[in-house]
Chains A and B, each alone.
Chain A
């Protein structure tokens, strides 16, 4: 047990280190952007004195290392600074958006993860059957189309022709849950179609990969049914690769939603980052980037820990 705890703490430490490195890269990246922020904000009306005042206002007159340290200090206390566009607290601006994005990601994950695992297991069980082939063809085609294309097709079918779901997912904080679910259904479905192939194929491959191992052959010689063999003998040993792919795709559900949110005009973090880039609202872009990075790190951390925890050799040392 001690060795597991040590491994987990090691991974946690590494995660913090990665986040730190990412924050540095984000900050440097923004620093390297050409042009002066204040000049850009004030546009035509900029004069030397107003620009200088603006810079002082925003703390831009201080040297870069100082600003970086201040920014880092702020983040660690949950203070992301204020938006340049409207002067509001970024944490407040992001709060609602972030919970919207998480909500959408969660709905998509609740559909996509069990569905892909089930399809992957079934595909492995009925390997090379028509079922296996058609699942492969369907998931591969859905991942091959661009997201916006899938999104517009779904809108065309479900909202324009059938009228079952709205094409605009304009939720607000006081939208009731059921209506909210109804509104995010199409974007969630789009995301599901995009991430499913990867998870389903990894599940299938991980299981099939194990089917040649001696303990699976032994299970056959014990006269066990094929489904019992796959569920009880192959799957428990296949978790590590599956969990890692699931984590990557969950991260994509949060980080990669930009296009889907734009198509469905969904007020999530993706929309915000696109808007902020257009408005050169650098602090908001920085804040969103660090949140995305943290999402990746945390999800991969969980995947790492889960794949360690499902390894009997680590779980039950000699």
Chain B
């Protein structure tokens, strides 16, 4: 552990320095610059936050610290020095000797980044053993110690499980432990909590911050979530399109962002829907009424006596952690999963439980928009076919009418018809794809749209655009939305009514104002207090309030 001693002696010394770094990526058989001359310095024990939208080059920059570029990319200029070692000139063997030992990496999806075929502790021990840092039994003992420090349950035995046998939040902490196995000087956290629920996220963030402080490890923390980076980083760099927008210590950056782009990132969370106009006025009858629904996969009940109503022109948000039954509820309403008990009414009339028994007219009334626009649209169809299909299928329009209506719909979702109608999905950005999915849902002229985590996969600015669009369409077309999400900021932005779910049950429901004002039921309180705030002291205060988490 020679590294530690030198780190302790010389706290503020320079650890990582990038000067004018340029990285190219191959797209359409041409090299494009994806990192455009970035300067970055990092001192020992310091945590640097990299934020920006997807495509900003933050992950590319992060792994470049290891002298690594993804396949299809290349270094095209500038320099990277890690503790005096020129990483661009270093041989593959030299870099291999540094990776895992002095520079470690924590990936976004722990579930995908752990090898499914090996036990956690073996994957932990692999790095120190292969790099001749310690013996296997020493590594095992160290793993158990670190698992304890990271507050994993049963640290003596949890390592002997396989990745699929532990939860997502535990896996993410096990990966942090793995990164710590050789006590590196630098850890790169690449969106480590993005895939986690907010209640799990805070547990992981707390332990990560704690362990980095304990070992005085320097870190690069990559995220698109400002509030998260505010908790973790000493200093923040804002990136956009591979360029540095702004750099400042966290408190100064949060208090006083200088650049317009940075301010716009800050402003994202400000969007608020106007309250629904006809709340409980003209529509005494709900458009959709879910009544005492209990649903099961096989013999296991997933939903327990769910009841709520959807009215035209209103948005009902369904919130909860993953596995709480949000999407299953949507499957019951759309008839993909017939309920075991209870029923779904459409304008007072019961809908057949199985979608196969529903009429075309009944099917048309309820449409869905999914989280992953990528997988929800056929990559081999042009936009005109994707939107045109429901027009001819549900409404029986002829080809001229389809063309005209498709253009109208593209106008409605703010995409230029002449430019977009003949494109393939692969020629669109993530946000544009999601807009196409919205247009496809609108094409059926439904009264109710179920939005399943439609903004979760999008950057905040793009997500806000989608939320504004959905809001405008709702007012224009008097639509009812059921909005499934785990993001409370989105809930605050878009809902009229809120349904909070936990383990297949509704724990609270009511108007947004009721839900977001005290007193809260225990679980809602936990959910609300777990949402990271822009205040850099928020997490510290919360830890103090909640007591040490276990």
Contacts and interface: CB of A to CB of B under 8 A. Distances in A.
Nearest to A222: B100
Contacts of A217: 107, 113
B263 to A, nearest CB: 35
Given A224-B130, A225-B96, A214 B107 contact: yes
Contact of A214 (B109, B130, B164, B165): B109
B483 to A, nearest CB: 30
B101 A223 contact: yes
B165 A223 contact: no
User: A interface, by DSSP: helix, strand, loop or mixed?
Assistant: helix
B126 A318 contact: no
Contacts, number: 77
A83 to B, nearest CB: 51
Interface residues of A, number: 22
A221 interface: yes
B177 to A, nearest CB: 13
B116 A223 contact: no
Nearest to A236: B117
B175 to A, nearest CB: 8
B117 A222 contact: no
A39 interface: no
Contacts of B161: 316
A218 B107 contact: yes
| B: contact size bracket | 20 to 34
A268 B178 CA distance: 57
Contacts of B105: 218, 221-222
Contacts of B109: 214
Interface in A194-245: 213-215, 217-225, 228, 232-233, 236-237
Contacts of A221: 63, 66, 68, 99-100, 104-105
B123 to A, nearest CB: 9
B1 interface: no
Interface in B104-157: 104-105, 107, 109, 112-118, 126-127, 130-131
B162 interface: yes
B116 A225 contact: no
Interface in A24-75: none
Given A223-B98, A224-B100, A233 B164 contact: no
A213 B116 CA distance: 11
A237 B117 contact: yes
Nearest to B105: A221
A247 B63 CA distance: 42
A246 B131 CA distance: 35
Contacts of A214: 107, 109, 112-113
Contacts of A236: 115, 117-118
Given A213-B112, A223-B131, A312 B104 contact: no
B184 to A, nearest CB: 10
A189 B235 CA distance: 67
A313 interface: yes
A222 B127 contact: yes
Given A220-B99, A221-B68, A223-B97, A228 B117 contact: no
Contacts of A225: 96, 130
Nearest to B131: A223
Contacts of A219: 115
A221 B161 CA distance: 22
Nearest to B66: A221
B113 A215 contact: yes
A312 B116 contact: yes
B162 A316 contact: yes
A214 to B, nearest CB: 4
A225 B107 CA distance: 20
Contact of B164 (A213, A218, A222, A312): A312
A316 B162 CA distance: 8
B99 A233 contact: no
Contacts of B68: 220-221
Contacts of B126: 222, 224, 232
Nearest to B165: A318
Interface of A: 213-215, 217-225, 228, 232-233, 236-237, 310, 312-313, 316, 318
- Please name the 6 residue pairs, one residue from A and one from B, whose CB atoms are nearest each other, closest first: A223-B99, A222-B100, A223-B100, A236-B117, A221-B105, A214-B112
Given A214-B109, A221-B99, A223-B101, 14 more contacts: A213-B112, A214-B107, A215-B115, A217-B113, A218-B105, A220-B99, A222-B130, A223-B96, A228-B130, A233-B117, A237-B115, A237-B117, A313-B162, A318-B165
18 contacts: A214-B107, A214-B112, A215-B114, A215-B115, A217-B113, A218-B115, A221-B63, A222-B126, A222-B178, A223-B96, A223-B100, A224-B100, A224-B130, A228-B130, A233-B117, A237-B117, A312-B162, A316-B165
